[in-house]
Amino acid sequence: MSDFEIRPSERLQRLPPYLFARINALKHKKRQQGIDIIDLGMGNPSDPTPEPIVKKLCEAVMDPRNHRYSVSRGLFNLRRDVARKYKAKYGVTLDPEHEIVACIGSKEGISHMCLAMLGPGDTAVVGDPAFPIHVYGVAMAGANVISVPLGNDEAFLERIAYVCGHLYPRPKLIILNYPHNPTAMTVDAPFFEQVVALARRFGVAIIHDFAYGETCFDSYKAPSFLSAHGAKEVGCEFTTMSKPYNMAGWRIGFCAGNATMVNALATIKGYYDYGVFQPVQIASIIAMRECDADVKRQARVYQSRRDVVLEGCKRLGWEAEKCRASMFVWARVADEHLAGKGTIDLCMRLMDEAEVALAPGRAFGENGEGYVRIALVENEQRLRQAFRQMARVLQPSRAAAEPKREKRRPGDDAKTRSRVNGKTAVRNAEVPPEQRPLRRSDEGEVVDEVRDRGPAEEDSDATASASPTAGRTQDADGGEMMD
């Protein structure tokens, strides 16, 4: 037996425990068994990208000039349209040459910004709970994370100020995120004025994750950090095409703001990548020019789903605020449903017995314990079905008292069945497109019908499930629950 051993870097040892792994492994196992899991755990948009964007992509792909390497900063015309959008929507003036850079999604941009700004001995302040990359990005840069209980008020900023005033050396970064993931917490414009003042007082830079800035409800308009006076002097902001335009798989986002920070990110990216596939950039220009109505329409879809989820939570006895933005509902689980255990155990039980996937609050930080994050990614029918299935597990006596429903296959409502090649298929009948459940393969493809997987797919999945790191690998590639 060889004594040779390959040792990964110490950087990997610095990463916090991966708390989604157990849930992802069970979900994968269930799907291997042909069980339909209603997945409300990952914020992965299931609605289609607007047609003008797809058409422009197809057109651009046919031009062989677009098959070459692009530039890591992003096409100038793309950055110019980002600047125009900021000006029109938020009243912010940006120099597309020096104050904007395109990213392979905001997640990549934030992690590489941490690498550009932080190193061993440096510290970043992050609210708790937090979107995982806000913590992992700092850790992978070799820096330290100071977590403070999350808030959206003066008390939250006072907690950050206390850390900045009593820690030596002082923190180098503060990472903020409003509308917040996972809690859907929001702020109003004066909050960012105080953030700028705090940054100036302690000489600390700001990163603001604005991924859900255009997914707003009930006439609320999320303010951009950059719209605060002096914000460009102290920090930057990340936006994405993923949520507002349903372009999650396209992988394109932007960093805008402080020229020094933007240039630092562009320098790192110049060493790591050649930028986003050029047809995707060209299609993104069309998105910003022609698809404002689609963005507003999508926000209304999420608002309707939010209301369905809030009603479902109320029936379960879970407390959830009527969020003003984001694509999640953050719900406080009833104590009797936790039964003295944590939310990871609860989510494992719901996956196993109710066939519904939720994101446990504990996976987002210690202060997330007791909560679950519910993604608004399924249509209203599927959301209601998810809550019926959870109620049968969590409230068996109440479920027993209700009239029994005919057991249906996923998405059977308002559909018809037919036989294809001797197998049962489910096809859309008279159902509006936005109400149709999207069927997806394990590879993420949308399929038109429920079907049995062939031997080749089963072998492939069996190989993946045999790996003890399958859950982690999926997530590292932007997979399960790490939206």
Look at domain 13-42+295-432 and name its CATH class.
alpha beta
Q: Which CATH class is domain 51-290?
A: alpha beta
Looking at residues 158-180, what average pLDDT do you find?
97
- pLDDT reading at 361 higher than 60: yes
Reply yes or no on whether the pLDDT at 29 is more than 50: yes
CA dist 62 and 279 (Å) reads 9
Joined together, the tokens standing for residue 315 give 């029936």
Closest CA to 93 of 241, 202, 229: 229
CATH 3.40.640.10 range(s) for the chain read 51-290
User: What mean pLDDT value characterizes the chain?
Assistant: 86
User: What stretch(es) of the chain map to CATH 3.90.1150.10?
Assistant: 13-42+295-432
297 Cα distance to chain centroid: 19
Percent of the chain with pLDDT over 70: 82
C-alpha span between 452 and 443 (Å, rounded): 15
pLDDT confidence of 153, banded at 50, 70, 90?
very high
Phi, psi of 235 (to 5 degrees): -175, -170
Coil vs helix vs strand at 9? coil
Q: What is the pTM of this model?
A: 0.83
What is the DSSP code string of 402-462? SPPPPP--TT-TTEEEEEETTEEEEEE-S--GGGSPPEE-TTS-EESS--PPPHHHHHHHH
**Span 352-369, average pLDDT:** 97
Mean pLDDT of 339-356: 96
Q: Cis (ω within 30 of 0) for the bond into 182?
A: yes
Predicted confidence (pLDDT) at residue 455 exceeds the cutoff of 60:
no
Could you tell me how far CA 326 lies from the centroid of its own chain?
Answer: 10
Among 229, 193, 227, 234, CA closest to 210? 227
CA–CA separation, 481 and 39 (whole Å): 10
Query: Mean per-residue pLDDT for 437-445?
Result: 45
Does residue 304 contact residue 322 with C-beta atoms inside 8 Å?
no
- Classify residue 329 by its DSSP letter: E
At 52-98, the pLDDT tens digits run: 999 999 999 999 999 999 999 999 999 999 999 999 999 999 999 99
**CA nearest to 284, candidates 445, 42, 77:** 77
Q: Which of 338, 410, 322 is nearest to 372 (CA)?
A: 338
Give pLDDT, residue 24.
85
pLDDT in tens, 91-145: 999 999 999 999 999 999 999 999 999 999 999 999 999 999 999 999 999 999 9
Residue 446 has pLDDT above 80, yes or no: no
Model confidence band, residue 402 (pLDDT cutoffs 50, 70, 90): low
What does the DSSP 8-state code read for residue 224?
P
The whole-number average pLDDT for the span 319-332 is 98
Average pLDDT for 358-383: 97
Instruction: Please give the full DSSP string across 21-85, using - where no structure is assigned.
Output: HHHHHHHHHHHHTT---EE-SS----SPPPHHHHHHHHHHHTSGGGGS---TT--HHHHHHHHHH
